[in-house]
Amino acid sequence: MPARFRLEARDPGTRMETAFRAVQSPCIGVCTINDDGLCDGCLRTRDEIAGWLGMDDARRAHLMDSVLPARELRRG
């Protein structure tokens, strides 16, 4: 469920509300796909990288909390 944030306009009599969804990303700017098909920086596959913004929060959280740490352990 997206978090709700209240944005205050410069005019104190005017308020705006907007829905905001934080997009977490494991990207660290080392974007090289290795022989295993994983990014050397974040350990995501090409498909995971390309689909990141289209994933729902549950899928991104699963990758961040389970899949990527398991890949890190295997990388050793």
For the stretch 36-67, pLDDT in tens is 999 999 999 999 999 999 999 999 999 999 99
As a whole number of angstroms, the distance between CA 76 and CA 65 comes to 17
Q: Are 15 and 9 in contact (CB under 8 A)?
A: yes
As a whole number of angstroms, the distance between CA 43 and CA 49 comes to 10
- In angstroms, the Cα distances linking 38 to 2, 20, 66, 73, 75 are 29, 30, 16, 14, 11
Q: Which of 40, 16, 44 is nearest to 30 (CA)?
A: 40
pLDDT at 20 over 80: no
Query: pTM for the complete prediction?
Result: 0.68
pLDDT of residue 8: 47
